[in-house]
Amino acid sequence: MLLALLQANAVVMDVDANCAAIEAAAQAAAAAGAAVLVTPELFPVGYAPRRVRAELDPARLPELHGRLAATARRHRIGLVYSLPQVSGPGEWHIAATLVDDEGKTLLSYAKVHLFGPDERAAFSPAGEPPAVVNFHGIPTSMVICYDVEFPEAVRAAAVAGAELLLVPTALAHGFDEVPQVLLRARALESQLSIAYANHSGVEEDCRFLGGSVIAGPDGRLLAGAGAEPQLLFAEVDEASAGRARGEVPYLDERRPDLYRSWGT
């Protein structure tokens, strides 16, 4: 299965410009034969948590979901996009959605680990574990940005059966070791492929790293981006996770009862 990742610079609170960027990327990715396009964290509204919370009218969210689903349907490609989710008075989460090539929602996820004072001021941490769906024959799950830096989050997806993890992110400049080292280690230790799509450029006061990556279940780098806007592609072998787990059965040989007795 061919994966496509959009690495781009969003314009904060310019939904039309950001959705147009997703539209163009979806068209190009579909023309290249990709089954899914993964876009960065909060890309349709731009990454500026306090501003998004202050300026985004929650009544716009259904229309935005519909607009992005229509993009997937128009170009016949799966799409991962990230928007705020409002679940109650004062209860805002950072969320991500996977739709199929007919625009049907297959998977939703809300971010569990919030990063930094701006996210914590604007959003609430969620608590539901990552779910798994069959996407083009591959058990697929999602987490968001900082979540992937916790081995427990990725392992939860793997234990639930995931062999592909899709990760919208908003990683700032200066954290180069996350995509270069940590992402590949996460893929290796939980023996799944990880697709990690980041912003580039500057949004508000945040300078983004870029550095989007796709890593295989053996920790091998399948594709990596630099700092500039880019549409990144990599082929994921549907059997690769099974082969890795057959060679070294990390998941089968875990001892969770023992680990709990250690206080972990």
Those residues with Cβ within 8 angstroms of residue 144's Cβ, 6 or more apart along the chain or in another chain: 41, 82, 94, 95, 96, 109, 110, 111, 167, 168, 169
| d(C-alpha 218, C-alpha 77), whole Å | 27
Q: Locate 83 and state its tokens.
A: 């928007």
Q: Which residue has the tokens 């992110």?
A: 169
Active-site residue, from 19, 23, 63, 145: 145
Helix intervals (H) in the chain: 15-31, 49-55, 61-75, 116-122, 151-159, 177, 183-190, 240-247, 256-261
Q: Count the helix, strand and coil residues of the chain and give each as a percent rounded to the nearest 5.
A: 35, 30, 40
| d(C-alpha 147, C-alpha 170), whole Å | 11
- Angle subtended by helix axes 183-190 and 151-159, to nearest 10: 30
Active-site residue, from 19, 111, 149, 163: 111
DSSP state of 148: G
Q: Which residue has the tokens 């990327």?
A: 25
Q: Is the dihedral of CA 144, 145, 146, 151 positive or negative?
A: positive
145 given a catalytic annotation: yes
Active-site residue, from 41, 149, 163, 203: 41
CA nearest to 196, candidates 5, 34, 67: 5
- Would you please indicate which residues are annotated as catalytic (active-site) residues? 41, 111, 145
